[in-house]
């Protein structure tokens, strides 16, 4: 009888611990606010997160494709995004896809900023068209966010579909490691003499086309000590050259430094890569602030995570060809009116 009771106690203990482990699972909330997505891929995305130990909530996936090919009308997309940003249960808001259309939502986001500020902080995750959402949460809410892979295109999804090479070298684990452990990247190329001295500040930016879209609007905003990280795709080197001259001529645009990511296409030749780098180098030679080249974030096979609206430090040793970029970990807590903080170790 004692042995039976002991066995029952062991079983109950195991079941209880399993239940606690299940209850402690973190939840990823999926959302799409831009171009329409393939609904058949959603179960594969859910499976991907489940296999990584995360629950998934799809309550903010609301697709009725608009005439312009967005996931819904501007009005509905704005309402859905605002509801997600106000939801106190949300900690990780992961965008399923980029594309286009998020910039259209900014007036509604701006009008709701005070209501959203009064809720728990969230970590927005994504890149490309998600830059418009990063811009809002970084500059108007003061929340850090993750410039990183979208849910539909990444290393873990590449294992399911070998035809989609977008961000195939970065997966879900890379993003959470960056959030919980911080960032340390070697390999930044200093493109002018100013860059070789190193720099520190607050990281901002994302997709250059989206950042440029805010110029000369009532919503344009630049944080003090801004270090701008920018990438893009689908622009020619001549179009990039024109935009970089615009940055150079812009009077109210004076970041402490600029970090250029990938601008060439996914299937670019070596010659294509070289002409884009040359375009950026020529800009660096004319520009007064430090300029760096790190083509390992953006629309390529590699998209290393970056923490926006967060401290960043770039160190350069005179004896080394490359510089090092570091960012502290995010200390993530979730309850009403709590803000995300950055835990600086050492």
Are 207 and 267 in the same domain?
A: yes
What is the residue range of 309's domain? 183-327
**Closest by Cα among 186, 19, 8, 38 to 99:** 38
Q: Is the pLDDT of residue 149 over 60?
A: yes
Residues 94 and 30 in one domain: yes
Q: Is residue 338 part of a domain?
A: no
> pLDDT digit string (tens) for 167-223?
999 999 999 999 999 999 999 999 999 999 999 999 999 999 999 999 999 999 998
- Global pTM reads 0.90
Answer yes or no: do 260 and 323 share one domain: yes
Task: Give the rounded percent of residues in the chain with a pLDDT score beyond 90.
Answer: 85
Please check whether residue 92 lies inside any domain of the structure. Answer: yes
Poorest-pLDDT segment among 48-62, 252-266, 322-336: 322-336
Residue 313: inside a domain:
yes
Given 161, 182, 203, the domain boundary residue is 182
Residue 220: CB atoms within 10 Å = 14
Q: Identify whether 29 is part of a domain.
A: yes
The answer as to whether 339 is a domain residue is no
The CATH number for 74's domain is 3.40.50.10740
Domain shared by 207 and 272, yes or no? yes
Q: What is the CATH number of the domain that holds 207?
A: 3.50.30.60
pLDDT tens track for 12-46: 344 333 443 445 789 999 999 999 999 999 999 99
Neighbours of 330 (CB within 10 A): 22
Contact in structure between 232 and 263 (CB atoms under 8 Å): yes
Cα–Cα distances in angstroms (integers) from residue 290 to residues 195, 247, 318, in the given order = 4, 14, 15
Domain count, the chain: 2
189 in any annotated domain: yes
């Amino acid at each position: 009888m004692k042995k039976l009771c002991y066995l029952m106690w062991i079983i109950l203990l195991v079941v209880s611990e399993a239940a606690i482990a299940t209850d402690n699972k973190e939840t990823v909330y999926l959302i799409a606010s831009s171009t329409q997505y393939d609904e058949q891929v959603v179960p594969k995305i859910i499976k991907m997160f489940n296999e990584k130990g995360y629950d998934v909530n799809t309550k903010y996936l609301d697709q009725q494709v608009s005439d312009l090919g967005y996931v819904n009308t501007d009005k509905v997309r704005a309402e859905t995004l605002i509801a997600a940003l106000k939801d106190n249960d949300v900690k990780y808001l992961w965008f399923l896809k980029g594309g286009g259309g998020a910039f259209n939502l900014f007036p509604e986001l701006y009008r709701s900023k005070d209501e959203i500020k009064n809720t728990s902080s969230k970590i927005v995750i994504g890149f490309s068209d998600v830059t418009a959402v990063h811009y809002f949460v970084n500059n108007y809410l003061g929340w850090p966010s993750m410039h990183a892979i979208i849910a539909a295109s990444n290393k873990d999804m590449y294992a399911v579909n070998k035809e989609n090479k977008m961000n195939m070298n970065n997966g879900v684990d890379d993003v959470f490691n960056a959030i919980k452990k911080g960032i340390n990247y070697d390999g930044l190329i200093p493109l002018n003499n100013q860059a070789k001295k190193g720099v520190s500040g607050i990281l901002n930016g994302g997709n250059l086309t989206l950042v440029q879209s805010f110029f000369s609007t009532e919503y344009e905003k630049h944080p003090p000590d801004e270090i701008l990280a920018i990438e893009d795709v689908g622009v020619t080197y001549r179009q990039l050259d024109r935009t970089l001259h615009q940055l150079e001529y812009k009077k109210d645009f004076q970041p402490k430094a600029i970090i250029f990511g990938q601008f060439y296409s996914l299937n670019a030749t070596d010659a294509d890569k070289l002409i884009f780098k040359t375009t950026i180098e020529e800009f660096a030679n004319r520009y007064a602030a430090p300029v760096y080249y790190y083509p390992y974030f953006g629309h390529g096979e590699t998209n290393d995570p970056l923490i926006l609206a967060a401290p960043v430090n770039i160190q350069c040793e005179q004896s080394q060809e490359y510089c090092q970029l570091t960012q502290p970990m995010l200390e993530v807590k979730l309850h009403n009116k709590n803000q995300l903080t950055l835990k600086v170790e050492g």
